[in-house]
Amino acid sequence: MTEPRRFVGPDSADIRGVRQIAPGVVEIVAYAGRGAGLAWLSAIAILIAVGESVIRGSGAIWDRYAGLLGEDTFWGQIGTDAGYRACLRTLDFYPGCKPGLTPEEYYYDIFLPQIVRSGTLAEALFPVVLAMLPFLYLLLWKRPPPVRMEGNHRIAYTWRPARLFGLIRGRLFIAPYTTHKLVMPTKRKFDAVAGDAMSGPVALQLEDASDPQKTRIFRVGPYSALPKETTAQVAWTRASRVFGVDAVEASAAFRDRFRLPFWQRTSLRGMARFPSDIDSRVQAWLDRRPA
């Protein structure tokens, strides 16, 4: 009788969201990327809408914005600007009208202050600013720090960065590797952005290094389960092999950099880093830990 064919997963080097940083030590990314996914979808929708209006020649839209911002006057096409002609013809038409007024003077000294006071400038700029938000998010969002897994000490830890401009200090969260305590159950739900229904993140419960009574849940694993064989659960299962017999061999199977979808690599700020003294902080926790 023929043995049933078993699925063979990808090599550890092809697993997304896990990297080796030292022999016996790997990191797994925080489960993040939904915001970037939504920003990409919004940005694409905006580009399609703008492209369609250009292709279809929606001149009325562009003429309105050009008029709101005084395009004709700004470029010196005085023959087409009724306000500028009226200002030259009737000196009391607007405060500031005078003989020999140049288009630039009209624009900066009369027209611009007027549209600011009337709210017309805000009306013109609001949709522009709104359309730029997805692009700004893609450039400026910062991915949370990964969770580091040290096979030699059989511990997992991460860093919660400082917040509110340093008023709330950064903190180390750490825990020993015990499957029944470290890995918490997670509810599976459909995520339309990730296009995934059943995978979702792996939830780790870590304790505050300075106060073990305080715990916090950190969700890890690559966001988006595409391809399906590289889900967050697969990434965690492979990464947790460093807690086995040969941590060095298990960690050597991974690349030395994270593999992430291109749409999660657009940020100029990248990923939050561990502090420079993270090793001494971890060692201090190990020294306080009961034998």
**Helix, strand or coil for residue 238?**
helix
Q: What does the DSSP 8-state code read for residue 111?
A: I
For the chain, the structural domain boundaries read 13-32+143-288, 41-140
Question: What are the tokens at 171?
Answer: 């903190």
- Radius of gyration for the alpha carbons in the chain, expressed in angstroms and rounded: 29
Confidence check: pLDDT of 6 > 70: no
Question: What's the pLDDT at 5?
Answer: 41
Question: Closest by alpha carbon to 29, among 290, 257, 278?
Answer: 257
Beta bridge partners of 176: 155
Question: What does the pLDDT look like over 166-193, one tens digit per residue?
Answer: 677 889 999 998 866 788 887 777 777 7
Percent of the chain with pLDDT over 70: 77
Q: Which residue has the tokens 């096409």?
A: 77
Question: What's the pLDDT at 149?
Answer: 95
